[in-house]
Amino acid sequence: MAAEAGAPTPADIYRARARIAGRVARTPLLSSPRLARACGADSVSLKLEMLQPSGAFKLRGATHALLALAPETRARGVVTASTGNHGRALAWAARAEGVACTVCLSALVPANKVAAVRELGAEVVLAGDDQDAAVAEALRLAETRGLGYIPPFDHPDVIAGQGTLGLELLEDAPDLDTLLVPLSGGGLLAGVALAVKAVKPDVHVVGISPQRGAAMIESLRAGRPVEVAEETTLADSLGGGIGLDNRYSFALVRALADTVVQVSEAEIAAAMRELHRHERLVTEGAAAVGAALLARGEVPGGGRRAVVLVTGNNVDMDRFTRLICERD
């Protein structure tokens, strides 16, 4: 399956960076000698996207897609479906621009993420038992209310916005040879890999999903988008399907991901604990999957200089506190 006409290009990512300048944070890299020792690499750096104002990388794509809309569309308001972080990001960006925002969330979205979206002034619509149901409701509202629909991942402007993260990596970690990316709908991996491989085509890109409900990985195995039952997981931000009518992210992930891997719930929990104990980071499960993979003791592809995307910190703090107090 080739990417459709209109798929994002590296040039689109550079344009996206100019468009969102001043509206998102340039996040730092944190060296982790502990993880480097664990996997035998020369260096491991953590890209701290959890320091975005909305608490996750999603602010990049949501802001860019919102600003790319025609002014008359923005004036009517926007709607999306989300597993939590995209909805929060769009609500943040919409509030900053004075745009009305509606976010459709399924019953699987944690209560803290639902509350965070509401606190940003967005209208929350609870729709169905999984992400597919939330998407269906968002599309219905877009049609009936005339709202601009901004998907969580499968859209050129969203992918280009996420790709701005890759441009920062090229500047701040020019010697990287391995990039570890949480993988769900694929918008993040597609954008970041598109930016990085345009300059450094030999960088080994690793997509990492939980063992539960890994829709993109199952679709890659099948050679086409397939439905996968959404399951409860610590990495709740990586839940949901990729859409049977996926137009962009599936083809880009298939072309750009060199390795895809799944990690267990126990590995995710252990990585969250270790990132807190040693790097003093509060991470949600989805943000810890890269560290979970390196804890197995090697870098996929044999790389020596790895960068791990630590994508968000929107975790229920009561649950997080209980988790980090548990013994491995």
Give the confidence band of 188 by pLDDT, cuts at 50, 70, 90. Answer: very high
Which one of 93, 120, 149 terminates a domain? 149
> Which of the four pLDDT bands, split at 50, 70 and 90, describes residue 75?
very high
- Domain ranges, residue 122: 58-149
Residue 328: predicted pLDDT: 60
Residues 47 and 62 in one domain: no
Residues 310 and 181 in one domain: yes
One domain for residues 212 and 292: yes
Structure-token pair, residue 299: 């870098």
Residue 280: which CATH number?
3.40.50.1100
In sequence order, the 6+-apart residues with CB closer than 8 A to the CB of 210 are 233, 234, 235, 238, 262, 263, 264, 265, 268, 285, 289
pLDDT in tens, 224-234: 999 998 888 99
Q: What is the pLDDT of residues 101-125, one digit of tens each?
A: 999 998 888 888 899 999 999 999 9
Best CA proximity match to 183, nearest among 208, 219, 215, 153: 208
In a domain, 1, yes or no: no
Span 300-309, mean pLDDT? 96
Q: Looking at the structure, do residues 68 and 28 belong to the same domain, yes or no?
A: no
| pTM of this structure | 0.93
Question: What pLDDT does residue 295 have?
Answer: 97
Question: Which of 149, 169, 204 is the endpoint of a domain?
Answer: 149
For residues 189 and 184, give the distance between their C-alpha atoms in angstroms, rounded to a whole number: 9
The verdict on 187 and 282 lying in the same domain is yes
Residues 38 and 94 in one domain: no
Q: Give the residue among 192, 206, 172 at the shortest CA–CA distance from 31.
A: 172
With a cut of 80, say whether residue 327 has pLDDT above it: no
Q: Are residues 24 and 100 in the same domain?
A: no
pLDDT digits (tens, 9 = 90+) for 19-55: 999 999 999 999 999 999 999 999 999 999 999 999 9
* Domain assignment of residue 134, yes or no: yes
Per-residue pLDDT of 174-187, as tens digits, reads 999 999 999 999 99
143 lies in the same domain as 227:
no
| Domain identity same for 39 and 173 | yes
Count how many domains the chain has: 2
Using the predicted structure, report yes or no on whether residue 4 has a pLDDT greater than 80: no
At residue 84, the pLDDT reads 82
Query: Left, alpha or beta for 250 (phi > 0: left; psi -120 to 50: alpha)?
Result: alpha
**In the beta sheet, which residues pair with residue 192?**
none
Banded model confidence at residue 1, pLDDT cuts 50, 70, 90: very low
- Residue 68 — pLDDT band, cuts 50, 70, 90? very high
Q: 161 with 297, same domain?
A: yes
Q: Are residues 207 and 281 in the same domain?
A: yes
Q: Are residues 212 and 174 in the same domain?
A: yes
Quick: pLDDT tens for 81-97.
Answer: 988 889 999 999 999 99
User: What pLDDT does 15 receive?
Assistant: 97
DSSP state of 300: G
Residues whose CB falls within 8 Å of the CB of residue 187, separated by 6 or more in sequence, listed in order: 61, 152, 153, 154, 155, 158, 159, 162, 249
